[in-house]
Amino acid sequence: MAEIPQIPAEYVWTGAGGVLGRLMFHAREVQRGRRKPWSGALLYDVPIALGMGWSAYGACVWAHLAIQPSVTAAILASYLGPYTLDRMIGRVADRYLGGKSA
């Protein structure tokens, strides 16, 4: 029988940080009345949470940061979500590279 490969702890921690960040975002949306506490939207948040957490981990590895700031970055990135980060990067690019702001 084949051995199951070990998942590196960094991916587990940043993935969990991503899920925590999306749960914080979901709780805020529930408080504002934009979402129900239990809905199908939670299922769509799982891939976003993992993707944002692991993307933040990749950026932190590139920047040679330890695991603690990587988990913090994963929580922050998934709380903000892809749309907010896209707008922030777009504004910085517009400011420094010229162009119209969205």
**Is there a domain that residue 24 lies in?**
yes
Domain count along the chain: 1
Cα-based distances in Å from 41 to 23, 58, 90, 102 = 11, 26, 26, 27
**Is there a domain that residue 102 lies in?**
no
**Is there a domain that residue 69 lies in?**
yes
Distance between CA 57 and CA 61 in Å, rounded?
A: 6
The pLDDT tens digits of the residues spanning 5-64 come to 888 899 999 999 999 999 999 999 999 999 899 988 888 889 999 999 999 999 999 999
**Is there a domain that residue 87 lies in?**
yes
pTM (two decimals)? 0.80
> pLDDT-based confidence at 102, cuts 50/70/90?
low
Angle value at C-alpha 79, between 84 and 15, nearest 5 degrees:
120
**Is there a domain that residue 5 lies in?**
no
Q: What is the DSSP letter of 65?
A: -
Helix axes 67-97, 41-62, angle to 10 degrees: 90
Q: Domain of 29?
A: 10-97
**Is there a domain that residue 3 lies in?**
no
**Is there a domain that residue 38 lies in?**
yes
